[in-house]
Amino acid sequence: MRSVFVTGAAGGFGSAIATALAADGMTIFGCDMQAGEGIHAMDVTDEGQVTTAFDQAEALNGPISVLVTCAGIMPSGTEPARISNMTVEEWDSVFAVNSRGTFLCLREFLRRREQAPVPGATAVLMSSAAAQLGGYRGSASYVASKAALLGLTKIAAREAASHGVTVNCVAAGPVRTQMLEAATTPESVAALSSRIPLGKIGTTDDIAAAVRYLVSPGARWVTGTTLDVNGGYRMQ
């Protein structure tokens, strides 16, 4: 049975992905800022907490073979700050979770799998179509922090390949989550939907389905790639 480590597992993408992979027979260790039913408390920006959580996961479920990094934030409010008005605090806080947090978890995973390889080891990082398009309403801090993961995916895939580990990325388009709702209005969501060729906002299950593929045996020869899941949004 494959052991899975999911960050941001309390809601949104993380919860849907954890549920989907559990349905596939995998053992899930889910982490989030606050502990809850089946969720372990971990701050992805804290190096010590990340190491401790990985220790706990492997003590419970054995060597982790799948890492999915879903922990992420975006600035609150429906009108993101322009670069010229953005504070250093906002920039740093978003990068701390979205970029540093992903790096710390990926680094911990790769260290363990380099020292003790397991068959089918794979990591999936969560980026965004906003990072590819430069965003339309997204904050520069969010767009840039998610863009960093596109490059991280490629270099990690190159370094991990000799250890039999694959690393891929999902660039999620607009998906109905609490984070999206907090950053939009009904009017802006309607306008956004009109720019998506398939004509609708996605669901967390759409993202989970993509991750299910990337961690499956069928994707064993796929690495260093970014899978667009966006209803055709990026074709513009």
Candidate from 64-73, 120-129, 131-140, 206-215 with smallest mean pLDDT:
131-140
pTM for this predicted structure: 0.93
108-136 average pLDDT score: 94
Reported as a single tens digit per residue, the pLDDT across 189-213 is 677 777 788 888 899 999 999 999 9
143/110 Cα distance (integer angstroms):
25
Residues in the chain: 236
Asked whether the CA dihedral 86, 95, 28, 61 is positive or negative, the reply is: negative
**In the predicted model, is pLDDT for residue 234 greater than 60?**
yes
Strands 27-32 and 64-69: unpaired
**In the predicted model, is pLDDT for residue 185 greater than 90?**
no
Cα dist from 115 to 71, 108, 164, whole Å = 26, 11, 12
Q: How many CA atoms lie within 13 A of 213 on its CB side?
A: 15
**In the predicted model, is pLDDT for residue 178 greater than 80?**
no
Q: Residue 223's domain is classified under what CATH number? A: 3.40.50.720
**Tally of domains within the chain:** 1
Candidate from 20-34, 44-58, 99-113, 182-196 with smallest mean pLDDT:
182-196
pLDDT score for 137? 67
Reported as a single tens digit per residue, the pLDDT across 48-81 is 999 999 999 999 999 999 999 999 998 876 577 8
Catalytic residue numbers, as ranges: 142
**Domain limits for position 207:** 3-235
pLDDT score for 164? 97
70/41 Cα distance (integer angstroms):
14
pLDDT score for 167? 98
